[in-house]
Structure formats: structure tokens, C-alpha cells
Chain A
Amino acid sequence: MEKFKEKIKECLQHEPAFCTAVCPFRLDVRDFMEKMQRGGFNAAYRAYLNTVTFPVIVSELCGEPCKGVCPRGSTDAPISMKLLEKASIRYARNLDPNSYNLPDKGKSIAVIGAGISGLACALRMASKKYRVTVYEKSDRIGGHLWKLLPSEIFLKDIRHQFMNEEYTLCLNTEIKSLEEIEQDAVYIATGAGGTDFGLERSETGAYASVRPGFFIGGSLCGSNTMEAIADGLQAVNSIERYLKTGNMNQPTPYSGTKIKLDSQLIKRQEPVIPAEDGAYTTEEAVNEAKRCLRCSCDACIRHCDLMKYYSKYPKRIGEEVEITIHPGTLDGNGTVATRLIATCNHCGICKEVCPLDIDTGEFLLQSHRAMREKGAMPWAYHDFWLRDMHAANGESAALCRIPEGYKQSSYVFFPGCQLGASEPSYVMESYRFLLKNNPDTALMLGCCGVPAEWAGDEPLHRDVIDSLREKWEGIGKPIAVFACPTCKQVFEKYLPEIKGVFLYQRLGELGIHPAMEGRSETVSVFDPCTSRYEPELQQGIRDLAVRAGFNLEPLPYEGKYARCCSWGGQVSVANPAFAREVVKVRTNQGNNPYIAYCVNCRDIFAAAKKPVYHILDILFGLNGSRHVPPTITERRHNRIRLKRNILKEFWRDDENMGEKANGFMLYMTPELRNKLNNEMILEGDVQTVIEHCENSGKKVADAETGHYIGHLQIGNMTCWAEYVPRDGGFELFNAYSHRMSIEEG
């Protein structure tokens, strides 16, 4: 975590855009464009005015260095900044400068030279209510602008911008010696070839001369017209620092930018050319502004679902997580990021897209652990899945066995806890095929422990990992064959001694011929986020799909940019709205049916009615793309049935049947069954509630309907059931659950 906090300091979020980095004024073009893009000409003009001070002069004379660095330049054409600046002036409601009602600062400033640099400094100082005196040796203001612009244009702009400020202008006054000056600080801007009174620029600070209180800038120091104006404005910061602290060490403003942009990602958009008299109409201006990419380093927030959902960059997330883990108050109020921490899918895309490899996901995982250790992470977020893991690793569902007649195995098939829960045939068919080729292949049914990892429960996770290691050693340390990329990831991280391969690659190597015919149906392979660094697997799946006769079309996010289906991190309890949003975005990124090779992706999409095959459907000719996924209750039953069928077929073992389900029938409508599934209420839990109510007599009755209603806290959750006895079993009318415990004592 400390590493992340260090790393995050390098985050490029606040780096300026390319244009801003080369602009003499450091105009915040992102901000200006945001206003222009929505037609906010007045707001855009205010931003522009506040930065450049003389908007008419600047928009006439600027050499547009921004155009040279605009990333659009290499794709279509750079943004026409000057025309947009002029449009902001043309269409702004109010062009008058701000009037600041501030008290007199009580300090006086001398500006030597009434060129545009000196005037810029004078205006900015006067608006801050310093007493400003400008000395000019000639009989007019404007300096070298007389050579560049018609005087009515620049004189009008200068007069306009000074309209709210008072200052003393001494024309025909040549300062011969600095000893004549009585003011508190001096800005010397005598223009190109002007006198510097023998003062040299000092390295100690921006615009500082070697003499305290004396600052130099403008064309005198080699600046061009725009830089000269900017010098005058920026020198104000140095002067103010000197007046307040007596130091001449104002840091030189940072220039340059570290952001990078992949120009291949820029969509071509032709520049807007003004139709008439070289100026934009409002509509043209808005359209041209909309071409602006408002460049920033925002890859993380664009690609990471969590950052996008919360509109928060890693830095902000880091800060909020910090105060959540270490709240400032004794009762722990203000733990703002608890839910955010529990919303990370742990898909790894944040690190993949970050130019500095900042791994926000890993940070959130560690934060999750810290929160759980403190007991500050709500148990409800992971309760269901930890119970599910417990069931998958329990006696009735888990298995680790070597085929009859062998003492050890060279391979072990590890399908993971969800493959058989979703579709027992996936495991049966795969194992049959593997056995045919390697008759000593062992089978391990169970969970890799990732729910505990995602719940931040390290001790529990360690127990699962230790038990897996022990079982693996017991069957002769075979090579693991994984169906689930998440399992493989967990094994690589925590059981690196176990060599693993993917089932699908293994099946391909063994020369499987896909049983389903693709009949040239166009589909898209959906790479699970856990396949990000498994390019061979990704290619292998595509090869198998093509071999089956499917046409493939790529998805916008695949390969190393694979994104999570919403399952990762098991975040749907902590943040159901987020999970729904992720599913929506993932299912809408391609119009074709998907081929998934993580069964969780398949089930999530199928539940959202997206046509999707599992690759094993194609290989073994099983379900079609409109397969309805099982409910959470059916998943539990599938695991038990799978173990029973496996033992029967491969070990001729009918006895080891595992636990029996509750011995009575529960009748309910399909709608209610659907509701229980959506609210993650297991039918087995409802049966336990009814059993408890019937055995203890602790139940109430609705006088009108005659329905019994009762409840029981099972683990942490409290479950309610509304039912009547029927045909030796019970008919269920409703069930619901809550997290709060009732203090019944």
C-alpha cells in the first residue's frame, strides 16, 4: 500500500494538455473548450480574458504554437484555436473586464516601459489594488505593437481592459537611473534593445534580477509579443512574493507535459472552415470546438468501469481509501470509500492502460484486506459467495480422486467451482475426453478460493490454498488442467509450484473436433479479463471457433484490453447498480452472439438475454446460444448431482452420495423462483426457515389469507418465508431477507 501511495504521486492526471504546455499564457484549453463545446461563449470568453488580459490583441497576434503540437495535426488538422478565441469574443454577452472591489494593498509598483509587457503587468497589479506608476520615455503607450497592428485596435483593447483600474502614466519620462525610483518593487520592460540598467537576470527566481525588488521581462529579454504579455502577467506572482516575503525566489512556471496519446485512437474529423468572412458562426464554432480531444492522461478513467462510475482518478481514490481505513473520528464516521473498495472487479485493466503502471486494483485489494481485518467491511458484501465457496468445498460437492488402478496422476482436471454448477455436462464431457487420452487423469472438484481473496479474507484464503496443495501432493503432483482462467490466475499467484495448462488448449492439442457446426454464423469471442496475459489461450479459442465453422468479428475490447463481465470481485451485492451498468456496457459492445470461455461471463450475459455460447457448447455440441442459466439454487444442486454422477460413471461408486437435500417439496410460481434467484435467496435456506418454524411452532399467521409467516437467522442473514402446507410439502408465497439482526431477547 505504501508503494501505491508513492507511485500515485507520479500520476499524470494533472499534467497539462499539449497545447497548454506550449501556450505562453498556459491557457487551460481543456476548460476553454468544455465551455465552447456547449456553446457557453460568455463563459469561454471569461476564461480566455482572465488568462490573456488583452483578448483582442492576443487573438490577433498569437502565432498559435498550440497548432504545432495538437495531436489532431497528424490525423486531420489541428484545432483552429485563434478562430475559436475570436468566436468567444464575438459571441460573448459581456466583454467588459471584471471589476474587483478590494482594499488598497498599500504598496506601490513602478513599471518602466509602457509597451504591452509593462502594461500587462501594470493592469494585473492595478486590479489587485497596488498603486501602479508606469514610466514611458516616448509620448505614447503600446511599444512595438505600433509596428504590428492598427493603433485603433490595440489602443481600444488596452483602454477597455483598464476601464476599472486606476494607475499613473508618466509619458515622456525616461528613467535614467534606478535610484530615481521610490516604489516598493519595479518591473523593467523597456522592450527590445531597451536599457536593462546594467541589471542581469538572476537564476534564483522567475523574472528576478540580481537586485532585490527589481524584476525584468518582455522583449527586453528576448520574448516575442505573446511571451512579452505573458511575462508581464506572470511577473506579478514574483513581485507579490517579494512584497510579502522579501524573497526573489518565485519558482519558474513548469512547462511541458508528460502525457502521451495514442494517435491511432483519434477518430478522423474534418476541420470546420468558416463559410463567410473568415469568422465562425456560433454553430461552426461549436462544431470546431467539438473536434478538440481535450487531451489529458485519462486512460484509467476511460477504461476502468469503477473509476468511470465514480468519476474518480486513482489519486482521489487513494485519498478517500486512506481516510476510510484510517478515519479521523473515534466512531469511524466518514468512511466514504467502503463501498468503492468493494466495487473493484480486479480485472487489471487500470494497470494495463496506465502509462506509469499504477495498479489501483491491487491497491484496492490490499485496502479490502485492511478493512476486513479491522472488521470495517460489511460482511453482507461477500457473505453469499463465502457460503457458496464453503458449499463447493464441502463434502457433498468437492472431490479429489485418481482413476481406479493408478497410484498417481500425470494430469489433474480442475474445472473450478462454477463450471459444473452452471452445467454438469461441461465437466463430464471434458473429463471423459481427457481420460480417453490420459487414463491416469485425476479429478479435483472444488473452489480455488478466490471468493475469500476478493473478500479480503487472507486467513480463509490461505486455508483453501493449503488444502489444495495438500490434495495435489497426495495425487502425485500432476499438471493441472484448468477450465477457468480465474482459477489459473489464483494458482499462479499462490501455488506457483503447480504447473497448469488450459483445458481448451489441451483439447485443441489432443485434436478435438468441434461437435457443433458454426454454419458461418458471425460471432465475437469475448475474452474474460483473466485471459489478459494469456494470448495463446485467446488465440486457441478463436482457432477452435473457426474450426467449428464460425465467422469471427472482433470486439472493441479484447486481447490485452479484455474487460470484466461484472463477475470479478463478486461486487454485485456491494454495488448492484454498478454491476448492472457493467453488464449493459459489455453486452452492448458487439451485436453478434458471443463465445465465452469463462463460464461466469457466459452466465452473466445469458442472464441479461445476450445470445452467448460457451466454447464447450461448441466443442461437445451442448447448449445453444439462447441457453437459460441455472438459478443459484440449481447451481448448488448441479454441483451435488455432478459429484454423484462422476462417482457413478468413473468410479462406479453409488454409496458416496453426499448430503441429501431437505426432504420436502417446495412449491412456488416461476415468478417467485425468479425473484428468489435475483435476491440471492437459496431455496434450501427457505426450506430451513420453514422447517424451523414447523418444528418450533415459532410462526405467525395472516388472519385474512391463513398463510404462515416465519423467519430464521441463517448465518448472518435473516430469511422470511410465507407459506402453507401442501401435499406433504409446502407452498411458498413469498420470501425475503435482510441484513439487520432482530434482537429478540
Chain B
Amino acid sequence: MEEKKIICCRCNKELKPEKTYFSYLGHSYHADIMRCPDCGEVYIPEELVKGRMFEVETMLEDK
């Protein structure tokens, strides 16, 4: 998949994948997510939200 070029509006830097932590229902989970190398601003595309992220949410609810 070709990555979109995403720019942080405050730092004017291109976002790069970086290990990011998520939490839901008391469980923690991490994934490489596009972040601004300076301020850490995040971008999560809809495909990821509706895909893997939703799967993990459902899994944790049924755990």
C-alpha cells in the first residue's frame, strides 16, 4: 500500500511510523502509527480504524 504524505501543521514535518500505545477496557496494545517526529501529532487513517483497530476492539470486548 502506498503511504499518503501527511504533514504536521504545527511543525511542518512529514509524519513517520512510530510505536504508539492504545488502551481499551483496561488492556494496552501498541502498533506503528504515523506520528510527527517533533510534536508527536498522530494520524490514523479510516482503513486502520475500521480494520485492525475494530478487530482488536471487538476481541477485547469478547475476551
A binds B: yes
A residues touching B (Cβ–Cβ < 8 Å)? Answer: 332-333, 335-336, 338-339, 375, 378-380, 697-704, 708-709, 711, 720, 734, 736-744
With a cutoff of 8 Å between Cβ atoms, the chain A residues found around residue B23 in the complex are: 740-741, 743
Are B22 and A700 in contact, CB atoms less than 8 angstroms apart?
Answer: no
Are A338 and B61 in contact, CB atoms less than 8 angstroms apart?
Answer: yes
B1 in contact (CB, < 8 A): no
Are B24 and A701 in contact, CB atoms less than 8 angstroms apart?
Answer: no
B38 in contact (CB, < 8 A): no
Please name 14 pairs of A and B residues whose Cβ atoms are closer than 8 Å in the assembled complex, sorted by A: A335-B62, A338-B61, A338-B62, A698-B41, A699-B41, A700-B36, A702-B5, A711-B44, A720-B49, A738-B44, A740-B23, A741-B23, A743-B20, A743-B28
When C-beta atoms are compared, the residue in chain B nearest to A331 turns out to be: B63
Partner of A704, one of B5, B33, B56, B60: B5
Min CB–CB distance B58 → chain A (angstroms): 9
Partner of A339, one of B8, B9, B20, B62: B62
Are A701 and B7 in contact, CB atoms less than 8 angstroms apart?
Answer: yes
Alpha-carbon gap, A697 to B39, bound state (A): 12
B residues touching A (Cβ–Cβ < 8 Å)? Answer: 4-10, 14-15, 20-26, 28-29, 33, 36, 40-44, 46, 49-50, 53-54, 56-57, 60-63
B20, B23, B24 interface centre (most CB from chain A within 10 Å): B24
Are B62 and A697 in contact, CB atoms less than 8 angstroms apart?
Answer: no
Partner of A738, one of B14, B43, B57, B61: B57
Are B7 and A743 in contact, CB atoms less than 8 angstroms apart?
Answer: no
Alpha-carbon gap, A338 to B59, bound state (A): 12
Are A703 and B7 in contact, CB atoms less than 8 angstroms apart?
Answer: yes
* Other 10 A-B pairs with CB < 8 A, given A700-B8, A741-B24: A333-B63, A338-B62, A700-B7, A702-B4, A704-B5, A738-B57, A739-B57, A740-B24, A743-B22, A743-B23
Are A740 and B29 in contact, CB atoms less than 8 angstroms apart?
Answer: yes
Alpha-carbon gap, A702 to B63, bound state (A): 36
Also in contact, A700 and B63, with CB within 8 A (given A720-B44, A742-B42, A743-B22):
no
Are B41 and A736 in contact, CB atoms less than 8 angstroms apart?
Answer: no
Alpha-carbon gap, A343 to B49, bound state (A): 24
When C-beta atoms are compared, the residue in chain A nearest to B60 turns out to be: A378
Are B10 and A709 in contact, CB atoms less than 8 angstroms apart?
Answer: no
With a cutoff of 8 Å between Cβ atoms, the chain A residues found around residue B7 in the complex are: 700-701, 703
With a cutoff of 8 Å between Cβ atoms, the chain B residues found around residue A339 in the complex are: 61-62
When C-beta atoms are compared, the residue in chain A nearest to B44 turns out to be: A720
When C-beta atoms are compared, the residue in chain A nearest to B40 turns out to be: A744
When C-beta atoms are compared, the residue in chain A nearest to B50 turns out to be: A736
With a cutoff of 8 Å between Cβ atoms, the chain B residues found around residue A709 in the complex are: 6, 43
Min CB–CB distance A332 → chain B (angstroms): 8
Min CB–CB distance A720 → chain B (angstroms): 7
